[in-house]
Amino acid sequence: MQTLAFENGDTLPIIGLGTWKSQPGEVHQAVREAIRAGYRHIDCAHIYGNEKEVGQALNEALSAGEVRREELWITSKLWNSAHAPEDVAPALRQTLSDLGLDYLDLYLIHWPVAHKPGVVFPNSGEDLLSLEERPIAATWAALETLVDEGLTRHIGVSNFSIRKLQALLETARIKPAMNQIELHPYLQQNSMLAFCHANGVHLTAYSPLGSFDRPEAFKAADEPVLLKDPVIVEIAERHQASPAQVLIRWATQRGTAVIPKSVNPERLRQNLAAADQELDGSDMDRIAALDKHRRYVSGANWAQPGSPYTLENLWDE
């Protein structure tokens, strides 16, 4: 399996299992199956509400000797309600306790958005704090101490724009090692790719298959279905692959990690097997032409009336 290398020599298996939207009751089996199938990278987050069950599965696999802890790469994320510096270590400790682990491989700031203390999801703009009131730099300094204490091997961010990443790179003692963002052929973010490449920051592609299982309330009526895109389907047929495999392989050929979610044993094996496929230059060119700057995860939840966040200042575009 292709890997991404970090400055200290650690390596991240480029295809990981996504667990966003994997329900308690189904994620346990998915993680057990994934480890048996050869996944060594699992992407988690406190807000997904399933870390305890993921942890049970991880610990069963570890105790059964199916895998050793040092062979696994476990990522998790700090939720928006825990950006206050004094809340950061307790949030990570909760995640470690839920996952049944002593350390994480990677801990990310989930969004460049802060909620008032105790607010899990904002009901109104009043529930949010601006980045002036709750600066990212202070949250980041608290994450840096987690690395010092050995509670996570690496730290990074998610949903950060180039501008926010640049600001953090200028002040950080420990550089963000990762930006996890929505990336797929309809949202290719080539300038972000170039910026991260130039600055030694890795990218992880979330929603690589278009996250069709998102709650209906978050879907736009005219939403294009990435897995049914005629160009993707045609390339898949020619390679005797599935459309999902083409999307995953496209991500890895661009040098980004990718975390397709599946709770289905056959599909999660199929997704991992995309590592063995190869798209040629003309496939990559045809896919490059599909870019339409289409976000499936719009961030509109943070840009409610009265919120300090707007879609413009969230994405800086």
What lies within 8 Å, CB to CB, of 45 at 6+ separation is 19, 20, 51, 76, 77, 79, 110
Running DSSP on this structure, what letter comes out for residue 121?
S
CB 223, min distance to ligand A2P, A: 13
Q: Which is nearer to ligand A2P, 5 or 225 (CB)?
A: 225
Torsion angle, alpha carbons of 305, 311, 314, 317, to 10: -150
Q: Which two tokens stand for residue 267?
A: 């599909």
CB of 195 to ligand A2P, least distance (A): 23
Nearer to ligand A2P, 113 or 251 (CB): 251
Asked about 309 being catalytic, the answer comes back as: no
Residue 274 DSSP one-character state:
G
Of 178 and 272, nearer to ligand A2P (C-beta) is 272
Q: How many helices (H) and strands (E) does the chain have?
A: 11, 12
Nearer to ligand A2P by Cβ, of 36 and 163: the residue is 36
Query: Which residue out of 48, 107, 296, 309 is catalytically annotated?
Result: 48
Structure tokens at 266: 């056959």
Closer residue to ligand A2P, CB minimum distance, 187 or 192:
187
- Residue 216, SS3 per DSSP: helix
Tell me how far apart the alpha carbons of residues 246 and 262 are, in angstroms, rounded to a whole number. 16
Strands (E), the chain: 3-5, 11-13, 17-18, 41-43, 73-78, 104-109, 114-115, 128-129, 152-158, 178-182, 202-206, 257-258
Q: Do residues 104 and 153 make contact, with C-beta atoms less than 8 angstroms apart?
A: yes
CA atoms of 253 and 150, how far apart (whole Å):
32
Whole-number minimum distance, CB 212 to ligand A2P, in Å? 5
Rounded to the nearest whole angstrom, what is the least distance from the CB of residue 76 to ligand A2P in the complex?
17
Q: With H, G, I as helix, E, B as strand and everything else as coil, classify residue 163.
A: helix
Complex with ligand A2P: residue 96 or 232, whichever CB lies closer: 232
- Shortest Å, Cβ 110 to ligand A2P: 15
Q: Provide the binding-site residues for ligand A2P, judged by CB under 6 A.
A: 18, 207-213, 227, 242, 244, 260-264, 267, 270-271
CB of 243 to ligand A2P, least distance (A): 7
The continuous run of DSSP H or E covering 256 comes out as none
Task: Provide the 10 A C-beta neighbour count for residue 278.
Answer: 8
Residues marked active site are found at 48
